[in-house]
Structures are given as C-alpha cells and as structure tokens.
C-alpha cells in the first residue's frame, strides 16, 4: 500500500520538474524543435532560396486580396474581368427554335453586358431564367469555347384565345395560359369565352370537325354555367346548344341550314336545347316587321269576311 502510494507521488512530481541531473532547464519536446529551428536560423545554418522574401510578400498580398474580395462580394466581378481579358469574353450568342420569343429578351435574361466572361457565366442560372419566359417549354444552354453561347428553345403552341372578363389570353390545348394577347397575329385562332372555357375548349372544339361549314362561321364559343355552350356566328346569330346530345342538335341545325338557309335569315337566336322542338328568336327589326305583316293580314282577313257577309 505504501509502496504504491510512493510510486504514484513520484509519477505526479516528475512532469513538474524540467531540470536534468546537471541542473539545466529541459524544455518540453514540442518546444525543442521550435527553439532549435530559430537557433539554426540565427546562426546561419539555414539558407533560403533567392527571392523567397519577394514571393512570400506577393503570396501574402494575394491572400489578403482574395480574402477582401470574398468578404466584399467582388469575386464574380474580378473573375469576369480576368477571364474576359484572357480571351474568354462572350462574342456570339446563337439562338434557335424561337418563333414567339424575342432574341433581345433572351439576351436580357442571360444578363450579358458586353464584358461577360464565358468562364464566369452561370449556365444553370441562365437556363432557369430563360425557362421562366412565357413561350418557353424547354431550353438548353451550352458554352462553346472560347466565346460562344448556344441557346436552343422548344416553344409552347397556341391553340386558342380565352376571354375571361375583359382580358384576352392565349392558351394551349391543355388550357394552360401562355401569355396575354397583345396583337392581332393570332386573330385566326378560335375564341373561347367564359369561366372554365379554357379547360373544356379542346375537347369541345374537336367535335366540330364533323360540321366544318358551321364551324367555319363560328366567331366565339361561349361557356354557359360550366355545363354547356353557345355559338356566336359571324353574322351575330346565337345558337344555344344542349348540355347533352350535341350531335343531334348539330344535325338539326345543319338540316335547317341546308334546306331553309336558316342562318342567313333575320334572326337573333336558334334554341336547340329541347329535344322535341327548335325555337327561333327574331331580331327586334324582324319581329316588328312580322308584327306589321300579321296585323295587315288580320285586317285583310276581316275585310274579306265582311264582304262575304254582305253577299
């Protein structure tokens, strides 16, 4: 027990005494190498290569500059200027597949300023920016060194015009809105009017392939209460279609048009919603003329009856 305690106390005291048997100071082992190095450096036993100081100073300045750029957020600008000066400035942008998308708008989305470096250009950021443009469905952007960018687009296809309130928008077959209607170059596309008209437009429009004569005269397809459609013809006549059995209603309308030229007459609307009857609504002028004609006919009949009574 006493022997163990004695050994333990010796082990505890030993590291606290840094003197050898001659009374000299003994440094810890990690510090010995540092002291030896500085002693050798002071006595001239260590020699440095020529210009070591200059290189070290330049390295220090470079490290300080890089650190300052990183802290100040100037690294991209410096990289752009450096690589542009080295011959990697963007000199040409080749754009293909664009019909509705302006090349100027594409260049603005890429962010070219005349000194942009091909090396420093962020391709992913440029691709994402172009992909957000209204007409773009797919886009690829490639770097072609030393100074060319290739942009290839696949654009969305306009199927029709959707009127919602007073706004007009171009839509795809799926009903997705592409962009607001800005000019008349899409005037030949079919016009769909009303709430939910954009989503039901493609299926309904496809059914008129069997009635090309009538479809060619339709000025607008109007969605009513999200259930059925009305047709507005080029002469202003409204055709009210049923919710179900569209083929029957269109066959009735086609037969009346072929046999009686119904749609060329002075009428305001044709109501085909009821299966057992077709209702014709006259225009105000036609209704007034019809009333005058009926009154004249009534007077003529009364006159004939009066003459017969006298006989």
> What is the model's pLDDT at position 51?
57
> What is the model's pLDDT at position 8?
44
**Phi first, then psi: what are they for 236, rounded to 5°?**
90, -5
Using alpha carbons, select from 109, 172, 95, 99 the residue that is nearest to residue 140. 95
> What is the model's pLDDT at position 67?
56
**What is the total residue count of the chain?**
311
Q: Which two tokens stand for residue 3?
A: 């022997």
Q: Which two tokens stand for residue 90?
A: 């963007």
C-alpha 153, offset from chain centre? 13
> What is the model's pLDDT at position 87?
44
> What is the model's pLDDT at position 282?
84
Q: Is 177:162 a contact under the CB 8 Å cutoff?
A: yes
Helices 103-110 and 123-131, axial angle in degrees (round to 10) = 140
Q: Which two tokens stand for residue 231?
A: 């047709």
Dihedral over alpha carbons 93, 98, 104, 107 (to 10 degrees)? -40
Q: Which two tokens stand for residue 183?
A: 């000019």
Q: Which two tokens stand for residue 25?
A: 């100071």
Which residues face 218 on adjacent strands? 233
Query: Exposure of 80 by Cβ count < 10 A (0-12 exposed, 13-18 middle, 19+ buried)?
Result: buried
Q: What is the pLDDT along the chain (311 residues), one digit of tens a residue?
A: 444 444 444 444 444 445 555 555 666 766 667 667 666 656 666 655 665 666 666 666 566 665 565 566 544 554 444 444 444 578 889 999 999 999 999 999 988 776 677 887 889 999 999 999 999 999 999 999 888 999 999 999 999 999 999 999 999 999 999 999 988 899 999 999 999 999 999 999 999 988 999 999 999 999 999 999 999 999 999 999 999 999 999 999 999 999 889 898 889 999 999 999 999 998 876 556 656 555 666 666 666 666 666 66
Using alpha carbons, select from 95, 148, 150, 94 the residue that is nearest to residue 117. 148
Query: Exposure of 208 by Cβ count < 10 A (0-12 exposed, 13-18 middle, 19+ buried)?
Result: middle
- As a whole number of angstroms, the distance between CA 290 and CA 7 comes to 133
pTM for the predicted model, two decimal places: 0.66
Query: DSSP strand E in the chain: where?
Result: 92-96, 136-144, 148-155, 160-164, 167-171, 177-180, 191-193, 218-224, 228-233, 238-240, 267-271, 279-282
Max CA pair span of the chain: 171
**Peptide linkage before 128 cis (omega within 30 of 0):** no
């Amino acid at each position: 027990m006493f022997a163990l305690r004695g050994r333990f106390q010796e082990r505890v005291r030993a590291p606290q005494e840094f003197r050898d048997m001659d009374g000299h100071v003994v440094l810890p082992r990690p510090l010995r190498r540092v002291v030896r190095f500085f002693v050798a450096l002071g006595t001239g036993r260590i020699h440095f290569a020529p210009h070591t100081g200059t290189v070290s100073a330049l390295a220090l300045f470079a490290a300080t500059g890089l650190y300052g750029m990183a802290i100040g957020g100037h690294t991209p600008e410096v990289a752009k200027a450096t690589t542009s000066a080295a011959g990697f400035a963007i000199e040409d942008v080749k754009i293909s597949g664009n019909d509705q998308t302006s090349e100027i708008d594409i260049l603005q989305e890429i962010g070219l300023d005349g000194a942009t470096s091909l090396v420093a250009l962020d391709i992913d950021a440029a691709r994402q920016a172009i992909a957000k443009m209204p007409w773009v469905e797919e886009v690829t952007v490639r770097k072609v060194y030393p100074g060319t960018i290739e942009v290839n687009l696949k654009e969305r296809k306009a199927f029709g015009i959707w009127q919602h309130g007073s706004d007009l928008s171009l839509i795809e077959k799926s009903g997705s809105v592409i962009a607001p209607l800005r000019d008349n170059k899409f005037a030949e596309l079919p016009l769909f009017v009303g709430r939910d008209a954009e989503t039901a437009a493609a299926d309904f429009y496809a059914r008129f392939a069997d009635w090309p004569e009538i479809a060619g005269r339709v000025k607008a397809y109007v969605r009513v209460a999200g259930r059925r459609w009305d047709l507005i013809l080029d002469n202003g006549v409204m055709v009210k279609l049923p919710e179900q059995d569209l083929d029957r209603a269109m066959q009735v309308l086609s037969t009346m048009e072929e046999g009686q030229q119904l749609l060329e007459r002075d009428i305001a609307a044709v109501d085909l919603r009821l299966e057992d009857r077709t209702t014709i609504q006259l225009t105000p002028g036609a209704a007034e003329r019809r009333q005058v004609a009926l009154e004249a006919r009534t007077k003529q009949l009364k006159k004939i009856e009066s003459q017969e009574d006298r006989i």
